[in-house]
Amino acid sequence: MIRPPDYVLGIQPYVPGKPIEELERELGISNSVKLASNENPVGPSPAALKAIVTVSADLNRYPDGAGFYLKKALSEKLGVSDEEIILGNGSNELLDLAAKTFMKDGDEAVMATPSFVVYFMAVQGIGGKSVQVPLKDHRHDLAAMAEAITPSTKIVFIANPNNPTGTMNGKEEFDRFMERVPESVLVVVDEAYFEYVSDPGYADSMKYLHQKKDLLILRTFSKIYGLAGLRIGYGIAKKELLSDMNRLREPFNTNSIGQKAAIAALSDTDHVARSRKVNEEGKEYLYREIGALGLAFVPTQANFIYMPVEGPMALYENLLKLGVIIRPMGPKAVRVTIGLPEENRRFIEALKAVTGAGRR
């Protein structure tokens, strides 16, 4: 039987959560609350839902392979040309595409740990080497990441805000980092959660778009726009860099429904504002209640909260029995998506029950 190369065998497949319906069937529970995948609990924009209907009659046709109208809408919003935008099947595809385009077997990529696992998987998948730099105070240590760059480094991955910790890097430290990055290295800034950021000191990656350094900024419609099920992400970079990535990009990699919905969602500023408001109010509630229970958490700039805990798998399983689904993150932490008010209350009540904190 044919087998893949050893570097592929070394990849642990990404394990998605089971459908809620299946978990409820297995555990004999109902009305579960899913707070595991950082989805927007508000749901999609009503404008996006309305736009989807208009596409259904033409599903026998291939989608627009260039994403002409979505790229046009993005270029107008961002103030860049459509040649400086690339669309992806979620930003995940673009992470993978960047590694395939600019790295080869044996090349290095620098990334933080813990951070988004897909960075490691993308690099490992082409036989590259991941140089993992530990977080400092739950944040990317950009100074240490700059130190980790060698002549073999081709890409640096930065999640800002970071997943799973929800922390961000600010303008001054990002500027210092960019000053130290060689022109031969591509900096990939994953900004999947940037619309949720409330800190005015957040790093401005866009200002580097037309400078000498090579930069790829990745964003998505899966988070604040509430379109995770349609898998639409996009990248912003110099047109020459994207021209190279387009050599390997699959034809028709984004679907007709996703493109149409994304255009509508992009213009629905009320939906974005409501989603941000729900997130901010939920965040403050969870800060207060988790703190009152004497449990630790990391302040977040995203739509989830990272909680350092002992026995995360036991906590996950005990909450699951009460119909609350969170995400265990390694041996000493869990991640909880900020939900609607009732979902947040369900989580806190379940947390009190399984930790016994409510009885202290």
- Give per-residue pLDDT as tens, 63-91: 999 999 999 999 999 999 999 999 999 99
C-alpha 201 chain-centroid distance: 20
Q: Are residues 108 and 210 in the same domain?
A: yes
- Give per-residue pLDDT as tens, 19-55: 777 767 777 777 889 999 999 999 999 999 999 999 9
Pick the last residue of a domain from 238, 267, 296: 267
Residues 169, 158 contacting (CB under 8 angstroms): yes
Pick the last residue of a domain from 217, 244, 267: 267
Q: Are residues 164 and 204 in the same domain?
A: yes
Pick the last residue of a domain from 267, 299, 329: 267
Token reading at 303: 């739509």
57 vs 318: CA distance, rounded Å: 46
Q: What is the pLDDT of residue 360?
A: 44
Average pLDDT over every residue of 164-193:
97
Q: Are residues 259 and 136 in the same domain?
A: yes
In a domain, 1, yes or no: no
Q: Are residues 72 and 154 in the same domain?
A: yes
Token reading at 163: 């997943």
Nearest 5°: phi and psi at 237?
A: -165, 175
The domain in which residue 204 lies consists of: 46-267
Residues 253, 231 contacting (CB under 8 angstroms): no
Q: Are residues 275 and 322 in the same domain?
A: yes
Distances in whole angstroms, Cα of residue 211 to Cα of each of 58, 112, 160, 173, 182: 42, 24, 20, 18, 13
Q: Would you say the C-alpha torsion 134, 137, 140, 141 has a positive or negative sign?
A: negative
- Give per-residue pLDDT as tens, 207-252: 999 888 999 999 999 999 999 999 999 999 999 999 999 999 999 9
What CATH number does residue 112 fall under?
A: 3.40.640.10
Q: Are residues 214 and 239 in the same domain?
A: yes
